[in-house]
């Protein structure tokens, strides 16, 4: 699970450095006061380098990252953006905020976008696809990116859960034209709130950087109050305090992922031979962030019973089954835009609804007590005999 477990002296030192060097908390300007201290800028450079892309832009949240990424596509009101029906509600919200039509598709055994159903949902109005790496397992990016390329559709990866993972040696978030990341408090690395967008193309980066800052082009030839602009925008700027924490957290990311993988594997070894448990599909060539251990059970009632036994034993599940209403489009009848596109949502994604109902997701922590795998097995084994 989370970077918050490893927050400590390194993050504190980065914060202290901001104050020691003048206490400028704004990412732009104030050059005479800040003793060359630019934490957000340094965080962006370090993140881009970690990901192996030329540009990264820090923003206020993962939701903001999606919104800014969509903003540079010049979407028109009837344009459609397809994402998967199992994702956090933020992915659909960002599409709606961009005045595009949200379209969702079924997930497959990876619990991510089913490429076959994606292809079915594409229309002449489809401008972008947002593939999500839910709970740290890569989506089928080879197939999805091939479809997007063939149909001339922009691919964006929502890598909110994918930070530190990869497929075929390429970091998640770098397969698409843009990748978006969340650093909220539950993510593999955290800045409390925060997000990042990765880019391959300098022009995309420059448009996004201006849009996230009211259109400011940060033209070095003029002072900020006389700055040039080519379009409007909004304010999604990250603060220097978030940037400072992000720098320290990024240095810990590989360790966090390694510990999560080890602990996830230990839990899986303890329960994998229980009858009826089926592992989540993982595309070949994946490095998962191992934020969670997700498996299918024989039925929805077994999944619910497993959760109840875990809670009784002082353990927990994570998202599945308890938080499905925040993560499954089939329950989002509060979104008229989605209802207008799909009609009765409760019948719109039957394969995903059935699959999610059978699934259980266990939280994986960095600092896991050694007794946890055996406790999980003891709590759930009697449900599965
Ligand atoms: C798949 C996905 N996308 C986007 C977000 C939004 O990120 P944030 O909470 O930083 O706005 C989340 C948050 O959990 C998420 O899970």
Residue 157 near ligand 1, beta carbon < 6 Å: no
Shared-domain flag, residues 15 and 74 = yes
**pLDDT score recorded for residue 2:** 77
319, 218: one domain: no
Verify that 263 and 119 share a domain, yes or no: no
- Rounded mean pLDDT, 146-158: 98
* Residues 191 and 273 both lie in one domain: no
On the question of pLDDT at 1 being above 60, the answer is: no
Q: Determine the Cα–Cα distance for residues 154 and 131; give it in Å rounded to an integer.
A: 11
Mark whether 329 and 363 lie in a shared domain: yes
* HSE, side-chain direction, 13 A CA sphere, residue 99: 8
The count of domains in the chain is 2
Q: Is the CB of 190 under 6 A from ligand 1?
A: no
Whether ligand 1 lies within 6 angstroms of the CB of 62 is answered as yes
Q: Once rounded to an integer, what is the mean pLDDT over residues 65-93?
A: 97
CA of 250 from ligand 1 middle (Å) equals: 18
Give all strands (DSSP E) within 50-158, no chain letters: 55-59, 80-84, 101-105, 126-132, 154-158
Q: Which residue has the higher pLDDT, 118 or 382?
A: 118
What value does the mean pLDDT of the chain take? 97
| 195 touches ligand 1 (CB under 6 Å) | yes
Task: Indicate whether 326 pLDDT > 60.
Answer: yes
Tell me the Ramachandran region of residue 252: left when phi exceeds 0, alpha when psi lies from -120 to 50, beta otherwise.
Answer: alpha
Same domain, 139 and 219: yes
Mean pLDDT of 117-135: 98
Tell me phi and psi for residue 140, to 5 degrees.
-75, 75
Query: Using an 8 Å Cβ cutoff, are 134 and 161 in contact?
Result: yes
CB atoms within 10 A of CB 322: 15
184 lines ligand 1 (CB under 6 A): yes
Whether the CB of 84 sits within 6 Å of ligand 1: no
CATH number (domain holding residue 195): 3.40.640.10
Q: Are residues 141 and 222 in the same domain?
A: yes
Q: Are residues 299 and 365 in the same domain?
A: yes
Domain that holds residue 302: 257-384
Q: Name the residue at shortest CA distance from atom 8 of ligand 1.
A: 62
Residues 112 and 141: their CA atoms lie apart, in Å, by: 10
227 and 311 in one domain?
no
Query: In this predicted model, what pLDDT tens digit does every residue of 216-253 receive, in sequence order?
Result: 999 999 999 999 999 999 999 999 999 999 999 999 99
Span of 63-72, 152-161, 216-225 with lowest mean pLDDT: 216-225
Question: In this prediction, what percent of the chain has a pLDDT beyond 70?
Answer: 100
Whether residue 289 has its Cβ less than 6 Å from ligand 1: no
Phi, psi values for residue 181, rounded to 5°: -130, 150
Distance 181 CA to ligand 1 centre (A): 8
Query: Are 358 and 239 within one domain?
Result: no
Phi, psi of 351 (to 5 degrees): -65, -40
Please answer whether residues 197 and 183 qualify as being in contact, where contact means their C-beta atoms are separated by less than 8 angstroms.
no
How many helices (H) and strands (E) in the chain?
Answer: 13, 13
Mean pLDDT, residues 147-159 taken together: 98
**Whether the CB of 79 sits within 6 Å of ligand 1:** no
Which residue of 66, 83, 88, 187 sits with most ligand 1 atoms within 8 Å of its CB, as the best mutation to test the pocket? Answer: 88
Specify whether the CB–CB gap between 136 and 288 falls below 8 A. yes
Rounded to the nearest angstrom, the distance between the alpha carbon of 254 and the centre of ligand 1 is: 21
pLDDT of 378: 97
Among 231, 250, 269, identify where a domain stops: 250
Average pLDDT of the segment spanning 264-272: 98
Mean pLDDT (whole number) for 292-311: 97
- State which of 62, 93, 192 you would mutate to test the pocket of ligand 1, scoring each by most atoms of that ligand within 8 A of its C-beta: 62
Same domain, 333 and 215: no
Q: How far apart are CA 329 and CA 96, in angstroms?
A: 13
Give one word for 136, left, alpha or beta, with left for phi > 0 and alpha for psi -120 to 50: left
């Amino acid at each position: 699970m989370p970077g918050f477990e490893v927050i400590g002296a390194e993050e504190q030192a980065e914060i202290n450095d901001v104050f020691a060097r003048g206490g400028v908390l704004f990412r732009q300007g104030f050059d005479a006061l800040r003793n060359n201290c630019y934490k957000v800028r340094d965080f962006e450079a370090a993140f881009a380098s970690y990901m192996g892309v030329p540009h990264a832009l820090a923003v206020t949240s993962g939701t903001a990252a999606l919104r800014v990424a969509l903003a540079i596509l010049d979407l028109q009101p009837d344009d459609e953006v397809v994402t998967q029906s199992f994702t956090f509600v933020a992915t659909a919200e960002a599409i709606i905020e961009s005045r595009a039509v949200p379209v969702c598709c079924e997930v497959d055994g990876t619990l991510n976008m089913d490429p076959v159903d994606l292809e079915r949902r594409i229309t002449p109005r489809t401008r972008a696809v947002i593939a999500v790496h839910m709970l740290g397992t890569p989506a089928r990016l080879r197939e999805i990116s091939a479809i997007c390329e063939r149909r001339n559709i922009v691919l964006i990866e929502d890598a909110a859960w994918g930070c530190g993972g990869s497929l075929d040696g390429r970091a998640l978030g770098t397969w698409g034209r843009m990748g978006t990341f969340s650093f909220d408090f539950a993510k593999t690395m955290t800045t409390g709130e925060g997000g990042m967008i990765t880019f391959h193309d300098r022009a995309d980066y420059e448009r996004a950087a201006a849009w996230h800052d009211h259109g400011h082009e940060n033209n070095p030839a003029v002072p900020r109050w006389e700055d040039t602009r080519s379009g409007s925008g909004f304010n999604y700027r990250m603060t220097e305090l978030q940037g400072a924490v992000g720098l320290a957290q990024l240095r810990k990311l590989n360790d966090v992922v390694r510990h999560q993988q080890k602990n996830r594997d230990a839990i899986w070894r303890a329960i994998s031979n229980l009858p009826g448990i089926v592992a989540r599909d993982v595309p070949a060539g994946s490095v998962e962030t191992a934020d969670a251990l997700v498996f299918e059970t024989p039925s929805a009632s077994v999944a619910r019973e497993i959760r109840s036994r875990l809670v009784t034993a002082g353990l927990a599940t994570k998202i599945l089954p308890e938080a499905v209403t925040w993560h499954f489009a089939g329950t989002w009848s509060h979104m008229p835009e989605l209802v207008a596109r799909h009609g009765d949502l409760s019948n719109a994604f039957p394969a995903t609804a059935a699959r999610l109902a059978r699934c259980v997701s266990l939280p994986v922590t960095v600092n896991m007590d050694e007794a946890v795998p055996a406790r999980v097995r003891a709590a759930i084994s009697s449900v599965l005999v």
